Amino acid sequence: MFNERSLPMLATLVVFFVLYGYGFVEYKGFRDSLVLTNLLTDNAFLIVTAVGMTFVILSGGIDLSVGSMIAFIGVLMASLITGFGMHPILAMIISLVVGTAFGAIMGYIIAHFEIQPFIVTLAGMFLFRGLAYLINLDAVPINHPFISDLADIYISVPGRGGLTFIAIVMLLAVAAGIIVARRTRFGMNVYALGGDTQSAELLGVPIKSTQIRIYALSGFFSSLSGVVFAIYTGSAYPLAAVGVELDAIAAVVIGGTLLTGGVGFVFGTFLGGLIQGVIQTLIAFDGTLNSWWTKIAVGGLLFLFIILQKVIVHWVRRYSGNRGSA
């Protein structure tokens, strides 16, 4: 009945519906479409980052630089707009190119010098955060009519909800990630690389060029997240997105992608990001937990539902095996 590789994502889907269903039944306000569209907007930058992280983890690697990249790109874009009077579109393009180039450089170092991705991207994490502080030590507000117009884009849906520009960009990024992962030769190479590097090389997969492109892609998505985050907040700050790299990894893993690589889906990552948002929204609706306990509760709930995901996967495998033997 089920493809074994799709079982973790199936479990993630079940967890998402259980969480959202609980909120739907327990809280009247949760039933409004505004909650769902706010989830898409509020978690857009995390999900965009996690899409790029999915390709890295699928290949068996890791990227710890994405949070610092978001801060660096946001400050860079804001400084180009406010300090140099550059049009936001040009500033965005330059920022995306710079972020993608830095990602490609890290990929080149990993591929050609055979250094562990953990070490290279850890160095990148410190480098990009330092570059953000080098550009500006303080918050940089983005006061430009074009940015305000983008932030005001709103497509109404039934109920009180609506899709913002940020949510639309995130959905397009997820769709692009799904297409690249499942419908392109590069995507198949990523899966092959994560499954077994030696076998992939024997099959003719260009290992080094694929690794460079993977980290360039991660750099692009984290740069896009930096642009999205700057539009979302209307400003940029060198200390922005601290710890987002761990949230992105959590979204990827909760979404069913194995940390060992070779198995996973971009759509699962999308669900993993939404699950984190739903947990935080449920805590906010509950109203009995103060801000100091929110992170603890989110961490505890994430742990519980990761275990639940594993239980569901085990049950489905056992159920499918029993049916097969029957």
pLDDT value, residue 283: 84
Structure tokens at 153: 């884009």
pLDDT value, residue 1: 44
Structure tokens at 102: 């830095």
Is the pLDDT score of 2 beyond 60?
Answer: no
User: Can you tell me the distance from the alpha carbon of 256 to that of 8, in angstroms, rounded to the nearest whole number?
Assistant: 4
Q: Please, which pLDDT band fits residue 7 given cuts at 50, 70 and 90?
A: confident
pLDDT value, residue 8: 77
pLDDT value, residue 299: 75
User: Can you tell me the distance from the alpha carbon of 67 to that of 178, in angstroms, rounded to the nearest whole number?
Assistant: 22
Mind listing the pLDDT tens digit for each residue in 269-312?
A: 999 999 989 988 988 888 776 655 666 766 776 677 667 656 76
Instruction: Say whether 260 sits in a helix, a strand or coil.
Output: coil
User: Can you tell me the distance from the alpha carbon of 293 to that of 318, in angstroms, rounded to the nearest whole number?
Assistant: 37
142 or 325, higher pLDDT: 142
Would you say 29 and 179 are in contact if contact means Cβ atoms under 8 Å apart?
Answer: no
Phi and psi, residue 156, nearest 5° = -70, 145
Section 77-103 average pLDDT: 97
254-281: burial string, b at 16+ Cβ within 10 Å, e else: bbbbbeebbbbbbbbbbbbbbbbbbbbb
Residue matched to tokens 């929110």: 294
Section 103-131 average pLDDT: 97
Domain spans of the chain, in order of start: 35-270
Helices 244-254 and 66-82, axial angle in degrees (round to 10): 130
Mind listing the pLDDT tens digit for each residue in 204-230?
A: 999 999 999 999 999 999 999 999 999
Would you say 30 and 285 are in contact if contact means Cβ atoms under 8 Å apart?
Answer: yes
Mean model confidence pLDDT for the chain? 90
Is the pLDDT score of 135 beyond 60?
Answer: yes
- Bridge partners of 235? 141
The fraction of the chain above a pLDDT of 90, given in percent, is 71
Helices 44-58 and 66-82, axial angle in degrees (round to 10): 130
Instruction: Say whether 141 sits in a helix, a strand or coil.
Output: strand
Is the pLDDT score of 101 beyond 70?
Answer: yes
- Neighbouring C-beta atoms of residue 300, cutoff 10 Å: 12
Section 119-136 average pLDDT: 97
Helix (H) or strand (E) holding 236: strand 235-236
Q: For the chain, give percent helix, strand, coil, nearest 5.
A: 75, 5, 20
